[in-house]
Chain A
Amino acid sequence: MSNVNVNVHHLTRVEGHGNIVVDVKNGELVQCELQIVEAPRFFEAMLRGRPYYEASHITSRICGICATGHATASLRATENALGVEISEQTELLRKLLFHGEIIDSHVLHVYMLVAPDFFGVGSVIPLAGTHPEVVKRALRIKKLSGDLCAMISGRHTHPIAMTVGGFTHLPTVKELLDMRKRLVDAREDMDETIALLATLPWPNFERETEYVSLKKEDEYAFIDGAIATTDGFTYELPDYRKVTNETCVPHSTAKHTHHNRESYMVGALARFNNNYDQLHPRAKEAAEALGMKPIVTNSFLNSGAQAVEMVHCVEDSIEIIDELVDRGIKQEPLYEFQGKGGEGVGSCDVPRGILFHNYIIDDEGIIQGANCVIPTGQNYANIEADMRALVPQILDRPQKEITHMMEMLVRAYDPCISCSAHFMTVEFV
């Protein structure tokens, strides 16, 4: 086939609005774009003039899926700006809450958004009839992670109890122990998840790129740490702009980023490639069952890395709860503003990848400037690079199949368009 026109308007089973446009004339790729048509919402501008303590509540509204991730990055930025130290208890509770969100987001993506592609259906709904055990397992894991988040912050989407310096509500030891039992029981669902993914025919597609994530020596990094890349670069958080280098592109309401190459990748696969050593032993076993060992260069296997992370988060959550119960839950005084502002950068590696919040707060506690760099935005250039590499490899296939492969590729990144627009539809013109 010498001419191919793919034109997917409002790509489905992703969060937000985007279009895929592929135009091949006489066997030559003329146009290959991921157009982001999501309405921009201007969060950074909206934060100006608001009191510092509202920032985490406003920015959690950037995204319904990674609301906790945004709130956590926001709080870390605020705390770094104001010089707030957080207690070990707060750190442990935030990690536990964050694990809840990682599991919640990954189970949604792997089971409800990606799995239908492999069963040849358009959504998870027909699977409820044909594969009820799969759907029920997904809903069971989702409920577990949602309940874990609710136990700590009131609810998963738009956490309530997280605040600058600590929590306005604490879980009881009994709640923690009940949750621990459910997490132990969830090991069976994790095993089944890995077994299911091991049977799926992941597309063969290799393209090496630079993988960027947070890194810590002593743990699999989700909150704080340094910025590390598989090309050997390391940066402290305040230097995040040296990595992100944001630019506007005409076909996208989300900015693009690049570092050492024309593009880089963030997310579960990037974390897996950078931080494999710090994974829980059970998560390493899961990776082995999926045939994954770093460096994995097949972007479709981002979903595999997500499943590995789910195993890790279940195991680490059990350990965190043990530590919390051992220490005992204590009421701690909340932060009070000290009349001195400053600038701070906060970073978390949220479900879709590394996220930065950067605030300038004045001596009245009012936000004067804000910048947020969103994971999906950082992936767009890399998604387009993958699209350009993949299209020539599958040009001999029927157009319907090409379209489907392109949609699957973009979906593998688990793009969160509403976050990044400041996302998606496939258009073959």
Chain B
Amino acid sequence: MPPETPQNGEYLVAAYVITAVILLAYWLRLWSRVKILIGGEKHERGRRT
């Protein structure tokens, strides 16, 4: 890196972390809903048999 290049790596880290948090939080929300519904389905199937 040339010496005159600005040192601003903390902004890079912040942006990457925030992106991961937003996307993973949404994915986990969907995943947990699917998991609950699948659990309900298994329970219902077990009750019927």
Q: A and B from one assembly?
A: no
Give chain A's interface residues, CB within 8 Å of chain B. none
